[in-house]
Amino acid sequence: MKPYVLKKRRKRPTLVTTLLRNYVISFILMLFVLISSCSIAILIAMLYFDILPKYNIYPNEIMVDDYTKIDSSEIESVNGFILILDKDFNILYKRGNSVINGDKLNAKDLNTMIYNSEDGVIEINPKENTPLSNFTFKTRYNSDKDFLLVVAIPKNVNTNFSLKHTRLSRKQFLIISVAICLLILTIIFILYARITSRYFIKPLQILTEGANKLAKGNYSTRIGMRTRNEFGELSDALNIMAQKIEEERKLKEKSEKARRRLILDISHDLKNPLASIMGYSDYLIKNEELSKDDLYKYLKIIESNSIRANSLIQDLFEFSKLESVDFKLNKENQDICEFLRELIASYIPMLEEKQFNYDFLIPDHSIKVNFDSKHLDRALSNIILNSIKYNKNGASLNISLDIIDNFIEICIQDDGIGIEQSKVETIFDPFVREDEARNSQSGGTGLGLAITKTIIEKHNGTITLESKKNEGCKFTIFLPL
Ligand code: ADP
């Protein structure tokens, strides 16, 4: 599982800025709706009304059954007039600037009116100019009340005096305008909803989905959020939390495994010497007639197995003490060169006995370091004793101390049998040994290097091993100055 790397987020737009931006966008869109609907309205007006006229006078719009109530104010304002005629062309009613005298239309008047009618088809050219020739006429017949409405508008007035079939009534125009506005508004709201959903609903859905998976214990889940606002931060926090829980769980599993293995190893390592002690002591109890030599031989076996069991228990005790949470080193500021010289000196008799070639490179001047001499002695002794214990007579051992940057480097190197490369990684784990058979003879517990590593790490240092089979071992320790 790849560790979740917290991506460096660019300057993030917060939810507040996102909301503000959305509001500004919607405000601009609304403005656009207003402007566009006005433009459309003007366009329709221009298309259907030719050009917006000063006066819109339509006889069919002003027509009412009671002709005395006909609204002729607009017509009168442009010096026009209305006439109401019965079927015999008697003038029943007139209003406005009527240029007709008398109460009946004569043939001449009628002819002028037909000629000057907007929809006129009868071309009877009146030879003489009458007052009526200066007007444009439009008529509307009221079939219910059986009268004819005549609207007369002076020709010099710019009017839209039409009854074309395509013309929209004010009501229709209003309905169409409202419908177009509603359509544009709907489109804008759909767009706005989509934008809002992209910024708020989608991230929330992704977060909820991820959180649900985490709640089900699927800690390998990572929430893929591309937004760089608070949702992105929340998803980062959830991802880090999931990663930490996952790591903790793995660590717990690992330590549980190690604990089980440790118990198994301890019981296995204790079982052999104890079984041997029990077996031989039982044999001695049951056979009183044994010779002195045999008795000595069996007692020697019991003794060596007791020593083995005892050293195992002591190492275990020491190891668990080091591992316990309240363990503390007793550090003192002291000369590490002097300490190492004294430590090596104590092993010279053993090295001489095994005819080892040894060489030590330790600076003459003092280097003051904070360390626990008792525990560091134990750590380094394990390595030196292992070199003496596991290698044949005549092998060589080199120990050096150096300062590298802010660290003390201690190298302990031999040219002996070495360790299989596959074991180098795990050799510092408890109960790991190179060769089980050989170790039971040498009496090793497999805890020495585990104790060494724990002590070095408690000093905030590190220990590494470089080794190959038959090419010796090189332990390198770094301790902070
Ligand atoms: P033990 O108590 O068995 O010595 P250690 O943890 O000290 O336990 O060592 C682990 C194993 O590493 C040993 O059993 C031995 O096989 C191997 N080992 C350690 N040091 C050396 C060395 N200098 N040369 C060869 N093998 C070594």
**Per-residue pLDDT averaged across 191-195, rounded?**
79
Q: Three-state SS for 159?
A: strand
Model confidence pLDDT, tens digit, residues 33-59 = 778 777 777 777 666 654 444 456 778
- Distance, CA 282 to ligand 1 centroid (Å)? 34
Structural tokens at position 235: 């998803």
Which residue has the least CA distance to atom 2 on ligand 1? Answer: 444
Query: For ligand 1, what atom is nearest to the CA of residue 315?
Result: 2
Distance CA 256, CA 103 (A): 121
Which residue has the least CA distance to atom 4 on ligand 1? Answer: 444
- Distance, CA 446 to ligand 1 centroid (Å)? 7
- Distance, CA 82 to ligand 1 centroid (Å)? 127
Taking alpha carbons only, the member of 88, 128, 83 closest to residue 101 is 83
Structural tokens at position 328: 């503390």
Query: For ligand 1, what atom is nearest to the CA of residue 434?
Result: 16
Taking alpha carbons only, the member of 135, 177, 170 closest to residue 38 is 177
Residue 233 has pLDDT above 70, yes or no: yes
Beta carbons within 10 angstroms of residue 186's beta carbon:
10
Q: Three-state SS for 29?
A: helix
Taking alpha carbons only, the member of 248, 287, 220, 218 closest to residue 1 is 220
**Residues pairing with 346 in the sheet:** none
Model confidence pLDDT, tens digit, residues 450-466 = 999 999 999 999 999 99
Which residue has the least CA distance to atom 7 on ligand 1? Answer: 448
**Per-residue pLDDT averaged across 172-199, rounded?**
79
- Distance, CA 431 to ligand 1 centroid (Å)? 10
Model confidence pLDDT, tens digit, residues 388-431 = 999 989 899 999 999 998 899 999 999 999 998 888 888 998 88
Choosing from 433, 456, 464, 474 the residue with most ligand 1 atoms within 8 A of its CB, the one to mutate for a pocket test is 433
Write down the pLDDT at residue 165: 40
Terminal CA-CA length for the chain: 36
pLDDT top residue among 107 and 306: 306
Q: Which residue type does 82 have?
A: I
Residue 73: which pLDDT band, with cuts at 50, 70 and 90? Answer: confident
**Residues pairing with 401 in the sheet:** 410
The values of phi and psi at residue 123, to 5°, are: -100, 85
Write down the pLDDT at residue 387: 94
- Distance, CA 428 to ligand 1 centroid (Å)? 9
Residue 122 has pLDDT above 70, yes or no: no
Query: For ligand 1, what atom is nearest to the CA of residue 430?
Result: 6
Q: Pocket around ligand 1: residues whose beta carbon is below 6 Å from it?
A: 382, 386-387, 390-391, 414, 416-419, 427, 433-435, 439, 444-450, 473
Distance CA 180, CA 193 (A): 20
CA 90 to chain centre: 89
Write down the pLDDT at residue 443: 60
* Radius of gyration for the alpha carbons in the chain, expressed in angstroms and rounded: 55
Residue 377 has pLDDT above 90, yes or no: yes
- Distance, CA 312 to ligand 1 centroid (Å)? 14
The contacts of residue 289 (CB under 8 Å, 6+ apart) are none
- Model-level pTM? 0.55
Which residue has the least CA distance to atom 13 on ligand 1? Answer: 433
Which residue has the least CA distance to atom 23 on ligand 1? Answer: 387
**Per-residue pLDDT averaged across 29-34, rounded?**
79
DSSP 434: S
Query: For ligand 1, what atom is nearest to the CA of residue 387?
Result: 23
Question: Taking each helix axis from N to C terminus, what angle separates 373-390 and 336-353, rounded to the nearest 10 degrees?
Answer: 30
Model confidence pLDDT, tens digit, residues 329-359 = 999 999 999 999 999 999 999 999 999 999 9
Query: For ligand 1, what atom is nearest to the CA of residue 414?
Result: 23
- Distance, CA 415 to ligand 1 centroid (Å)? 14
Which residue has the least CA distance to atom 8 on ligand 1? Answer: 446
Write down the pLDDT at residue 166: 47
DSSP 200: I
Which residue has the least CA distance to atom 20 on ligand 1? Answer: 386
Model confidence pLDDT, tens digit, residues 82-97 = 999 998 889 999 888 8
Ranking 146-160, 266-280, 438-452 by mean pLDDT, the lowest is 438-452
Residue 182 has pLDDT above 90, yes or no: no
Residue 271: which pLDDT band, with cuts at 50, 70 and 90? Answer: confident
